[in-house]
Amino acid sequence: MSVTAEKVKEEPGIGTRCIRSQQFDLDTLYKLCELTDKIRNICQTKEGSNYISSLLNDKRAMLYFKQPSTRTFLSFQNACHILGIKCSEIRDISTSSFMKGETELDGVKTFSQYVDLIIMRHTSTDFVNLIDSNLNNNMRIINAGSGTDQHPTQALLDFYTIYKYGFKNKKIAFVGDLNRGRTVRSLALMLSKIDGMKLYFIAPNGYQIKSDILEQLEVPYELTDDLESIMPLVDYIYMTRLQDEYGGIEETWDPDAYKIDLNNVNRLKNNAIILHPLPRRDEIAVEIDNDPRAKYWEQTANGLWVRVALIASMFNISADDIDKSKDYNKIKRLYLK
């Protein structure tokens, strides 16, 4: 049986696994946002960066990316560097012993003999779940995107970006290929924990978000194919690209119906926030980058720091621990504002 974004029991805290967005309760999410802000502030100085890079400099990580990635791979790799973690990687499986017929489970078990953390992007959530259930619980594992199902760390950085601009009684529209868009699936589940949120899913019928997500939402939502009528209503608009690398949808896609450009951007509120997980195609015109409402490059930058905080949390480092550290207090007194 295929296992997708199923309803899971929430355990408080992060623990050693980041597999699906439903695992994060609100308290954990807010603590992660606070830790992100703290580490980011400390790293503004060389002395602070040196302190943060001493926190996990006895640890090693494996980046196993079986699907293409720019942002997630590089931000995780650089997050490890910021924390002092040494990284290995496999991105091209033709260089690995999978080519000799080794099972993928054996391959990932092999990684676990060498490292303390496995960060994995894969075509299949079933495989991520298989690793989750087969590897010893001491092994830290992060799902860096699994097929069309989940992208929990993208949801964390999106959550952090929205946390910075405000949650109270906000409306958010998700636009694009929501059927195969794992970022929207994971973020919708996370935002569903915020009282007063309203979600709009804007896509043509064949590209609409699937019922397995809708069944788990605890906040009001609407489904529509009409972008123009929803634009003036929302505080956040989260654009996504066509995910045609997965196939499986026959219905024709009209790119002009699901884009923001200079012709329609002023239908948005003056203080609306435009988000996109990136990469984009033409669903946000390049000219929109100069609009003060466009925050997707800021969102991308946030991904680095949220991933630093996530990894630190998975190794039991909290904002309180940092506050109590003598080294940090010395740096704070001498160098930080």
Active site residues: 71-72, 100, 121, 151
Cβ 327 to ligand CP shortest distance, Å: 33
Q: Could you give phi then psi for residue 327, rounded to 5 degrees?
A: -60, -45
Rama region for 296: left / alpha / beta (φ>0; ψ in -120 to 50; rest): alpha
3-state secondary structure of 309: helix
Nearer to ligand CP, 48 or 147 (CB): 147
Helix, coil or strand: residue 7: coil
Measured from the CB atom, is 112 or 150 closer to ligand CP?
Answer: 150
CB atoms within 10 A of CB 256: 8
Q: Which is nearer to ligand CP, 48 or 303 (CB)?
A: 303
Both tokens assigned to 67? 């699907």
In the complex, least distance from residue 71 CB atom to ligand CP, rounded to whole angstroms: 4
| Residue 2 · residue 130 · CB < 8 Å | no
Cβ distance to ligand CP smaller for residue 184 or 314: 184
Provide the minimum distance between the beta carbon of 213 and ligand CP in the complex, in angstroms, as a whole number.
Answer: 18
CB of 277 to ligand CP, least distance (A): 4
Quick one: 159 or 328, whose CB is closer to ligand CP? Answer: 159
Residues in contact with ligand CP by CB under 6 A are 69-72, 145, 154, 277-279
Contact predicate 183/150, CB 8 Å? no
**Cα–Cα distance list, 251 to 169, 204, 207 (Å):** 35, 9, 8
- In whole angstroms, give the CA distance from residue 62 to residue 91: 11
Report CA torsion sign: 161, 162, 164, 165: positive
Q: How far is the CB of 189 from ligand CP (least distance, A)?
A: 17
Please report the DSSP string for 41-110 in residue order.
HHTTSHHHHHHHTTTTTT-EEEEEE-S--SHHHHHHHHHHHHHT-EEEEE--GGGSGGGGT--HHHHHHH
Cβ at position 70, least distance to ligand CP in Å: 4
Measured at CB, which residue is nearest to ligand CP?
72
Nearer to ligand CP by C-beta: 155 or 309? 155
C-beta closer to ligand CP: residue 32 or 155: 155
* Nearest-approach distance from CB 69 to ligand CP, in angstroms: 3
Long-range pairs of 47-51 with CB within 8 A, sequence gap ≥ 24: 47/331, 47/334, 47/335, 48/331, 48/335, 48/336, 49/82, 51/327, 51/328, 51/331
DSSP state of 209: P
C-alpha torsion 103→311→145→217, nearest 10:
130
